[in-house]
Structure 1
Amino acid sequence: MSAPSPPGGPGAGSGTPPGSRGRTRHRGSTESESWRHLRAKQVLVENFVELGYHAQMEVVHHEAGRRVDVAVALTGSTGRQRNVAVEVQDSPIQVDTMQARGRLDRALGYDATAWIFSRHRADALLRAEPGRTQVRAPEEMLWVVDRTGQGMHIIDPEARSIRRIVFGSVFP
């Protein structure tokens, strides 16, 4: 099963084709986003739905001025539903902005906010040669790693793949 393309997104006739550097505007936002960001959200929704979860792209909370990239409803073995806001980060962001979004998400009823970085954002880390290159990880990535203790996730929307990165190595 796949999620429908959002209005005006890639594949909707007026969207920016993959491979170009164009940016597109989307429902509920005054800022533009890259086609990579939009496609990454589509890939996440498709994968969550294929796994049997309820997932929805670009959930707008007008009263709070917040748009969640992907909202996922998970039901555990106890039957309790947990709602997770998933954010795809394709550009630099301040850690305090990430923390504020997490607090707002909890106030909106989400149990957690998960951050997934685009391959574009993590390109320098992915190109590093083991033992030969030192790469400075962006502060927001270090915050995610420190907060979760489980590394971070990188999505490549073109390849439809997600990698978990633990500093010192890369795991597909």
Structure 2
Amino acid sequence: MAETLTVRPDADKAERYQTLIPQAEALLAGETDLIAGLANLAAMLKMSFDWLWAGFYLVKNDQLVLGPFQGPLACTRIAHGKGVCGSAWAQAKTLVVPDVDAFPGHIACSSASRSEIVVPLIDTSGTVTGVLDIDSEQLYAFDSVDAEYLEKLAALIAPLFD
């Protein structure tokens, strides 16, 4: 198990992800507990990028329920199809929102959030079991580079749902 995280502060976004992914793989190697894995991944993401919020919501009884996260207090439950998280769950696709104020039905869990990316967590049977949610205090903080690498990180989690 990894005990330290190595990320160069001067590295560009793609380089940070390229450094983070093998460390996440090592951290999750042999891990069987979903919550432990999600908690450490949330910490890794927050430490690597210093976003406002990085964490997970898990599907429970037809709603998303707050899971492990790093950042300010968050919404506890989100309905299917509601807000960015519920929409990513319903559509089973990554949503990049450059300006949350322009997203119809955005749920403002934190007034400091300005942009957001949400990646569905899909188990090995193809079912959406939760979402990875990341918020930034900056507009236009996320792009296709984030989507590509965060989807790779989300794929590492799939075996923990089995």
- Under a length normalisation based on structure 1, what TM-score does the superposition of the two structures give? 0.29
Question: Which one has a bigger Cα radius of gyration?
Answer: 1
**Structure number having the greater helix percentage:** 2
- Under a length normalisation based on structure 2, what TM-score does the superposition of the two structures give? 0.30
